[in-house]
């Protein structure tokens, strides 16, 4: 099995978009007010990744397994460091709390590695991460998912903002407009990126799956409040109902404001 990869930068989220996971798993992963053991979290993540990572393995093989790294650099000690995100629809990784990994290489051979934990499992300080969930509904799209076009066509708008300079064109009528669903915010003050999970109705999830399956290699923009809040390159289809997003401000605040304006009730 190839876990796959997804590249994100500060502008490509959020999305840092971390992972897609089935709703049933999500509701068992984080319980508001429940403390999480940092050691147990990391050990579970390591057990999952150990089946793919072997000391001495070549960088070429690791890239073949996880896809191209979203970032890489040389350490002061001369090691090559590569950072990988896992595919959005990797359910096993999500269940293990794994969002990606950092691998170190000497002479093109894997020397050490450690997991990147998903937001729901990122409580390294043994503090509680609280989760707050609510539903939203509107007669107009609250969140839009749009493929970025490189060439202008009728009824498209060119995006050129400080956050997304010379991005490209998005349609005036969204490729997918989400009018209802629920969302969960995670309060983790230790992280500069804010985390929010969007749970889509099945019909919208199916539409998003078809849209992304047919457009691998293109960019997907997420729009809220008439603003692009995130752009992510499509490395694999988005095939499940939940999207875990990690965003800096003001993108996070823009998205959260759009959701709250259309919130119908809090879910306990």
pLDDT > 50? residue 61:
yes
pLDDT digits 0-9 by tens, 205-240 = 999 999 998 998 889 999 999 999 988 888 778 877
More confident residue, 23 or 249: 249
**pLDDT tens readout for residues 123-167:** 333 344 556 889 999 999 999 999 999 999 999 999 998 888 899
Q: What is the pLDDT of residue 214?
A: 92
Whether 7 has a pLDDT exceeding 50, the answer reads no
Mean pLDDT within 241-257: 86
18-22, 46-50, 189-193, 212-216: range with lowest mean pLDDT: 18-22
pTM higher than the cut 0.75 = no
Contact predicate 45/115, CB 8 Å:
yes
Alpha carbon 55 to its chain's center? 28
Give the pLDDT confidence score for residue 202 in this predicted structure.
92
pLDDT of residue 190: 56
What is the reported pLDDT for 266?
60
Widest CA span in the chain: 58
Q: Which residues contact 35 (CB under 8 A, 6 or more apart)?
A: 123, 126, 127, 128
User: What whole-number percentage of the chain has pLDDT above 70?
Assistant: 75
DSSP state of 251: H
**Predicted local confidence at residue 87, as pLDDT:** 67
From 154, 149, 265, 163, select the one nearest 224 (Cα to Cα): 163
3-state secondary structure of 222: strand
**What confidence score (pLDDT) does residue 195 get?**
80
Q: How many angstroms separate the Cα of 168 from the Cα of each of 159, 250, 264?
A: 6, 21, 34
The pLDDT of residue 192 is: 64
Average pLDDT, whole number, for the chain? 77
Cross-strand pairs, 112: 104
Token pair for residue 157?
Answer: 């708008």
**Which domains, from first to last, does the chain contain?**
23-32+129-267 (3.30.1360.200), 38-121 (3.30.1450.10)
DSSP sequence for 131-195? EEEEEEE-SS-SEEEEEPBSS--TTEEEE--SSSTT-EEEESS-SEEE-EEEEEEEE-TT-SSEE
For the stretch 196-208, pLDDT in tens is 889 899 999 999 9
The tokens describing 33, both together, are 């007010």
Sequence-ordered list of residues with C-beta below 8 angstroms from that of 203, at least 6 positions apart, any chain: none
Of 183, 42, 189, 187, which Cα lies nearest the Cα of 129?
187
Higher pLDDT, 189 or 59: 59
Residues contacting residue 37 through CB under 8 Å, at least 6 positions apart: 126
For range 1-15, the mean pLDDT = 35
Tell me the per-residue pLDDT of 79-125, one tens digit each, with 9 for 90 and over. 998 888 776 567 788 778 787 888 999 999 999 998 877 644 443 33
Among the listed residues 9, 59, 65, 69, the one whose alpha carbon sits nearest the alpha carbon of residue 193: 9
């Amino acid at each position: 099995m190839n876990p796959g990869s997804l590249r994100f930068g500060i502008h490509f989220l959020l999305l840092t978009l971390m992972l897609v996971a089935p709703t049933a798993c999500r509701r068992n992963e984080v319980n508001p007010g429940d403390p999480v053991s940092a050691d147990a979290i990391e050990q579970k993540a390591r057990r999952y990744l150990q089946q793919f990572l072997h000391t001495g393995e070549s960088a070429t093989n690791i890239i073949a397994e996880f896809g191209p790294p979203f970032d890489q650099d040389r350490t002061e000690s001369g090691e090559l460091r590569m950072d990988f995100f896992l595919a959005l629809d990797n359910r096993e990784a999500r269940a293990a709390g794994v969002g990606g990994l950092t691998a170190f290489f000497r002479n093109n051979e894997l020397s050490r590695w450690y997991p990147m934990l998903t937001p729901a499992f990122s409580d390294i300080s043994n503090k509680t991460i609280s989760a707050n969930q609510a539903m939203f509904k509107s007669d107009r799209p609250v969140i839009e998912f749009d493929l970025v076009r490189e060439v202008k066509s009728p009824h498209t708008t060119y995006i050129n903002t400080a956050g997304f300079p010379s991005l490209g064109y998005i349609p005036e009528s969204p490729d997918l407009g989400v009018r209802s669903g629920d969302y969960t915010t995670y309060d983790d003050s230790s992280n500069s990126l804010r985390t929010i999970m969007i749970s889509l109705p099945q019909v919208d999830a199916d539409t998003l799956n078809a849209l992304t399956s047919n457009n691998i290699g293109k960019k997907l923009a997420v729009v809220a409040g008439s603003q692009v809040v995130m752009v992510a390159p499509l490395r694999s289809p988005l095939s499940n109902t939940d999207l875990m997003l990690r965003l800096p401000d003001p993108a996070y605040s823009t998205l959260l404001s759009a959701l709250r304006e259309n919130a119908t009730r809090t879910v306990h």
